[in-house]
Chains A and B, each alone.
Chain A
Amino acid sequence: GAVVSQHPSWVICKSGTSVKIECRSLDFQATTMFWYRQFPKQSLMLMATSNEGSKATYEQGVEKDKFLINHASLTLSTLTVTSAHPEDSSFYICSARDLSTGGKRYSNQPQHFGDGTRLSIL
């Protein structure tokens, strides 16, 4: 089955540091990847949609200068949390849309999720 790899799985760093999280589709191509944020016992909140070769689309209330997204290839998207602060501590999950399945109607294409990154800012 389709696999999405997310790295690192856990990171602890000091306040003010920038942290990069990678999301890779290992055995399929993904022109679109999604970045979610999840606080304890809360639902996943979509932060942004990452499009290969173009600018990401951010959801309302998400600071694009704070959360930099780069989608340089069909298998890799990165999320960089710049100048991280304790309030940025959260669980970040990416997902990727598999182009090869679901027929012509793009909405049928399933999303495959990574294992998430636990970010702790001290």
Chain B
Amino acid sequence: KQEVTQIPAALSVPEGENLVLNCSFTDSAIYNLQWFRQDPGKGLTSLLLIQSSQREQTSGRLNASLDKSSGRSTLYIAASQPGDSATYLCAARRSNDYKLSFGAGTTVTVRA
């Protein structure tokens, strides 16, 4: 059974600082890994999806890396802004399966 862990559970930084969010998974036989953003009381917004054959994906200030062999993915957010305050979830999709295994998330607060 795939277990996904996100550390830290919460993070508070001043505006402008770069953010580093960690995600680890126990089963390296994943098809892809996805990062989501969740605002309080809301659903999920997909940020980045990394296929198992890829090492990283970038979108604007966001960059996600994937190291399957070590079971880790990292989400980098450059020059953080107060609007980046949210909970960030990672989810691993099993090979040949559509089911997602989610981490508990990292709640980020960016102080103005």
B residues within 8 A CB of A106?
A: 98
A residues within 8 A CB of B36?
A: 113
A-B CB contacts (within 8 Å), total count: 59
Q: Which of A31-63 contact B (CB under 8 A)?
A: 32, 34, 41-46, 49
Q: Does B62 contact A (CB under 8 A)?
A: no
Among A49, A109, A111, chain B packs the most CB atoms within 10 A around the CB of A111
Q: Which of A44, A49, A108, A109 contacts B102 (CB 8 A)?
A: A44
Q: Is the pair A6, B43 in contact by a Cβ cutoff of 8 Å? A: yes
Q: Does B96 contact A (CB under 8 A)?
A: yes
Q: Is the pair A46, B9 in contact by a Cβ cutoff of 8 Å? A: no
Q: Is the pair B49, A41 in contact by a Cβ cutoff of 8 Å? A: no
Interface size class of chain A, counting residues whose CB lies under 8 Å from the partner chain: 20 to 34
Q: Does B4 contact A (CB under 8 A)?
A: yes
A residues within 8 A CB of B102?
A: 43-45
A residues within 8 A CB of B89?
A: 43-44
Give A residues with C-beta under 8 Å from B.
Answer: 4, 6, 32, 34, 41-46, 49, 91, 93, 95, 97, 106-116, 118
Q: Which of A32, A43, A115 contacts B98 (CB 8 A)?
A: A32
Among A32, A107, A114, chain B packs the most CB atoms within 10 A around the CB of A107
Q: Is the pair B97, A107 in contact by a Cβ cutoff of 8 Å? A: yes
Q: Is the pair B98, A97 in contact by a Cβ cutoff of 8 Å? A: yes
Among A43, A95, A97, chain B packs the most CB atoms within 10 A around the CB of A43
